[in-house]
Structure 1
Amino acid sequence: MKTISKISAIMLTGALLFTACGNKEQKGNEAMNENASNEKIKVVEVEGRKNFSDQAVITPLPAIMIATWDKDNNPDVMMAAWGGQCGPKHITFQLSAHKTTENIRLKKAFTISFATKDDIAQSDYFGIVSANEVPDKVAKAGFTITKSPNVDAPIINEYKLTLECKCVTFDEDDRGGARVVGEIVNMSADESILDEDGKIDLGKLQPVIFDSAKREYRVVGEKVGNAWGAGKSIINSEVK
């Protein structure tokens, strides 16, 4: 794998928090909902739209693959959707009580990769099977590992883009979960997903996002404009 010297601005996008609620219909024009602080909120429907009360669809949600070692240095990988980039070289995600949560608490390190179109079956498997029940689930999926040279965590060889991260914040809740912030120490990529200028090409990587509205995976789509460029057409029209 070829090491990229700078953290790519496109390494991932999207949501820092995500709430997925069940199929709950809102009845009447007003509903009483309870927020995270247990404060009662009177919700008024927005006219002219279908209202879903406190159900939330935040998009895009990255399908991030978190790889860690356990106390015996067995590799583990899980898929998470409640995460995103929170600074030039930081990533954050929210975990409930998982084997991965225990491992990060212990090792203070992890690697991040991204589910892609070509490995969706294995990636989904990592999300629905716990290492507490299947300790060798990485091998069962047919995946292999390399020890990260920079942090105390495994690199999953079959994932073509990997961020090596050290844990800088681990805020635990009272249910065994935690909100994690990691500092990206290094990013490495397989040359097959680089463009001719040596930059990450998402068209070649074909990462997927989690569609929380329909519980589906969708491939990141086509280019539709240039960042810090598409909006200039409006600026230019105002000048005229």
Structure 2
Amino acid sequence: MKISLGPQTFLSPVPVMLVGTFDVDRKPNVMAAAWGGLCSSQPPCLAVSVRRSTWTHRALLERGAFTVSLPTRAQAGMADFIGLVSGKAEDKFAALGLTASAGEHVDAPYVAECPVVLELLLRHTLELGSHTQFVGEIMDVKVNRDCLSPDGLPDPVRVDALHYAPLVNEYCALGDFVARAFAVGKTVKRQS
């Protein structure tokens, strides 16, 4: 039997995204976000929702570009710190000894120590109550060579991306390979 929990911010797990921006003075900042994900195939787009009170919100609107760095399981402490501290109060890159690398395709910094980075141009904004949703067109995806499978694509196990479980406030990571998408469904027997 299912138990109703009422309206909640729940979908689990969701990726932990480190959103990188420059402010008007080109000072780099990074914030942790979990409200977001892919939202279009053509053009390839990702959406991330950010509270209006954050330093990142203003920088996104001013610069029109951002990055998303994906931290690993081993970087959970770093990612959590980034989510706890405001960029207005502290330079998080300096505090954590992280490298703020400038994007090649957009005017935004990314966390060089993360294995996967997406560079995005801001295309749309949507006001959603407590958050503004920023939709960015993905201009480039960068992946550490050691996180690629033999066919040259990102290997989820090697990337070892950190995920967040809302409501229970826990970090988790992916487990083992289960099945090939767009193939395993073809093996299912239909009920008559």
Q: TM-score, normalised by structure 1?
A: 0.74
Counterpart in the other structure of 1:142 = 97
The equivalent position to 1:74 in structure 2, one of 27, 36, 39, is 27
Counterpart in the other structure of 1:125 = 81
How far residue 225 of structure 1 moved from its aligned partner, in angstroms, is: 0.8
How far residue 121 of structure 1 moved from its aligned partner, in angstroms, is: 0.9
The equivalent position to 1:217 in structure 2, one of 154, 162, 171, is 171
Counterpart in the other structure of 1:168 = 123
- For 2:14 and 2:110, how far apart are their aligned partners in 1? 22
- Are residues 1:84 and 2:40 paired? no
* Unaligned segments of structure 2, at least 5 residues: none
Q: Identity across aligned pairs (percent)? A: 28
* Unaligned segments of structure 1, at least 5 residues: 1-47
Counterpart in the other structure of 1:54 = 7
Change (3 A) 1:145 1:56: closer
How far residue 173 of structure 1 moved from its aligned partner, in angstroms, is: 6.0
Counterpart in the other structure of 1:198 = 152
The count of aligned residue pairs is 189
- Are residues 1:105 and 2:61 paired? yes
The equivalent position to 2:135 in structure 1, one of 181, 205, 218, is 181
- For 1:103 and 1:186, how far apart are their aligned partners in 2? 20
How far residue 56 of structure 1 moved from its aligned partner, in angstroms, is: 4.4
**CA RMSD for the aligned pairs?**
1.9
Q: Which structure exhibits the higher relative contact order, with contacts defined as CA atoms closer than 8 Å and separated by 6 or more residues? A: 2
- For 1:145 and 1:58, how far apart are their aligned partners in 2? 30
| 2:172 partner SS | strand
